[in-house]
Amino acid sequence: DTEVTQTPKHLVMGMTNKKSLKCEQHMGHRAMYWYKQKAKKPPELMFVYSYEKLSINESVPSRFSPECPNSSLLNLHLHALQPEDSALYLCASSQERGVLYEQYFGPGTRLTVT
Amino acid sequence: AQKITQTQPGMFVQEKEAVTLDCTYDTSDPSYGLFWYKQPSSGEMIFLIYQGSYDQQNATEGRYSLNFQKARKSANLVISASQLGDSAMYFCAMRLLTQGGSEKLVFGKGTKLTVNP
Nearest CA in chain B to A96: B103
Q: What is the total residue count of chain B?
A: 117
Check whether B105 has a pLDDT greater than 90: no
Query: Which residues of chain A does B97 touch, with a Cβ-Cβ cutoff of 8 Å?
Result: 98-99
Contact A94, A31 (CB under 8 A): yes
More confident position, B43 or B12: B12
Confidence check: pLDDT of A57 > 90: no
Q: Report the chain A residue with the minimal C-alpha distance to residue B47.
A: A104
Q: What's the whole-number mean pLDDT along residues B77-83?
A: 97
Structure confidence at residue B112 (pLDDT)? 97
What does the buried/exposed string (b/e) look like for A48-84 if buried means 16 or more CB atoms within 10 Å of the residue's CB? bbbeeeebbeeebeeebebebeebbebbbebeebeee
> What per-residue confidence (pLDDT) applies to A34?
95
Which residue of chain B comes nearest to A48, CA vs CA? B103
Residue B100's pLDDT is what?
59
How big is chain B by its Cα radius of gyration, in Å? Answer: 14
Q: Which of B100, B83, B23, B102 is nearest to A98 (CA)?
A: B102
Q: Which are the contacts of B62, defined by CB distance < 8 A and separation ≥ 6?
A: none
**DSSP letter assigned to residue A78:** E
End-to-end CA distance of chain B: 40
Instruction: Please tell me the predicted confidence (pLDDT) of residue B17.
Output: 97
B37/B58 Cα distance (integer angstroms): 17
Contacts of B45 in chain A (CB under 8 A): 43, 90, 92, 105, 108
Residues of B with CB under 8 A from a CB of A: 31-33, 35, 37, 42-47, 50, 52-53, 91, 93, 95-97, 102-105, 107-110
CB A96 within 8 A of CB A27: no
**pLDDT grade, residue B42 (50/70/90)?**
confident
Min CA distance, B98 vs chain A (Å)?
A: 10
Position A32 scores a pLDDT of 93
Q: If pLDDT is split at 50, 70 and 90, which confidence band does A56 have?
A: confident
Using left for φ > 0, alpha for ψ between -120 and 50, and beta otherwise, residue A80 falls in: left
Q: Quick one: pLDDT band at residue B98, thresholds 50, 70, 90?
A: low
| Mean pLDDT value of segment A12-35 | 94
**Range A81-106 average pLDDT:** 89
Establish, for the pair of chains A and B, how many residue pairs have beta carbons separated by less than 8 Å.
Answer: 63
* Contacts with B93 from chain A: Cβ below 8 Å: 42
Find the residue in A nearest to B36 (Cα).
Answer: A102
**What residues in A contact B43, CB-CB < 8 Å?**
37, 88, 90, 107-108, 110
Distance in angstroms (rounded) separating the CA atoms of residues A59 and A69: 22
Helix, strand, coil in percent for chain B, rounding step 5: 5, 55, 45
Confidence label for A109 from pLDDT (cuts 50, 70 and 90)? very high
**Mean pLDDT on B101-117:** 88
The predicted pLDDT at position B102 comes to 64
> Residue B36: beta bridge partners?
B49, B92
Query: For residue B99, what pLDDT band results from cuts at 50, 70 and 90?
Result: low
* Mean pLDDT for the stretch of residues B93-116: 84
